[in-house]
Structure formats: C-alpha cells, structure tokens
Amino acid sequence: MDKEMNPFEERNTTVFNSPLEVGLRVLYILNELYPKGCDLQRLVYYDYILVHSSDVPNGPKSIHPCIPHRTSEILIKRELVKKGLTLMNSKQLIKSIFDKTGILYSSTELTNPFLEYNNSEYANKLKSVSNWLVNKFEAYSDEKLSLFIKNNMDVWGGEFSKESLLRGKINEQ
C-alpha cells in the first residue's frame, strides 16, 4: 500500500545557498544589466558583492549577515552560480549568448515581469542593491573588478580574525 505523503514531514528543501536562491539573485543582477549581459566570473563577483554590499566602502547595508571568513564564499560560489544559471535558463528567465569573448548570460523578456511578482522585503532589497551594484561596477573592466576583489579579500571578513587575535593578546596579559 502506498504511504500517504505528510505535508509536514521533513523534506530535503534547503533554500539557503541553493541553486534557487543564487539563481534568483542572479536574475536581479541580470535584470539591472539588461539589455547587456555578463560572464560567469563577473556574476560570481557580483553575487558576492550583492550579498555583502557593506564590504564595499560607502556601500548599502549587506543583505546577509557579516560572517567571519566570508570571502571564502567567492571560492565556492562559482559552482552554485552555474547551477542557478542552469535552473533559471530552464525556466527561460535568462539566456546564454555565445560570442567571441565566451559565454555571456542575459535576462529575457520574461525576467522583469517574473521579478515584479516578488514583493517581499528581501526581494526589494535585492532589487535596490542590484541597482546600486550595477551602477557602481558596470564600468569596471574585468581586470579592474578582479583586482578590486583580490585587493579586498584579506579585509572582508577579516575583522573577526583580527578581533580574535586582539582577544588572544589581551588574555595573555
């Protein structure tokens, strides 16, 4: 006999840092870039900055909490962004563009209407910070953006490690 499905039983439905969450964030970024697109590496950097925007001098308040060693997210984010792009592409919310520079990703005519249905506080923050992000960094060349990220990786998320070093010295006294 088939067992009835209990709607309250635990399921493997992790949303945090899932392809769905990352894919939605990427949609907001690509929607702000429209009609332009960008490549995977830029999306990885943009997604990090979108989530941790207060790491950027004079940036808006971060959408997610500042956690120690958060720059390690950049190292693992690439695969998540790829999976998010695949998911959003399967729903025709983004498109892949093949050109002489490689693969670019862009929003479609369905992206903005889809995002307009999202009116939660989180979605409104994503929209606002994505707008700031694109205005701030779109003019950066790939090299300049990469250098900006690399020059700040030791600083972002490092405030906690410096604090622990200071506590260690105080405790030694």
- List pLDDT tens digits, range 41-98: 999 999 999 998 998 999 999 998 776 666 667 777 899 999 999 999 999 999 999 9
**Does the N-terminal peptide bond of residue 35 adopt cis geometry, omega within 30 degrees of 0?**
yes
Whether 32 is covered by a domain: the verdict is yes
Is 3 a member of any domain?
Answer: no
| Structure tokens given for 150 | 């690399």
Domain total of the chain? 1
Task: For the chain, give the mean pLDDT.
Answer: 83
147-152 long-range contacts, CB within 8 A, separation 24+:
149/45, 149/48, 149/74, 152/55
Do the domain assignments include residue 1? no
Confidence category of residue 158, pLDDT binned at 50, 70, 90:
low
Cβ proximity of 142 and 42 under 8 Å: yes
In a domain, 6, yes or no: no
| Residue-level pLDDT at 152 | 82
13 assigned to some structural domain? no
168 is in which domain, residue-wise?
Answer: 19-172
Please indicate, yes or no, if residue 2 is contained in any of the structural domains: no
Flag whether pLDDT at 5 surpasses 60: no
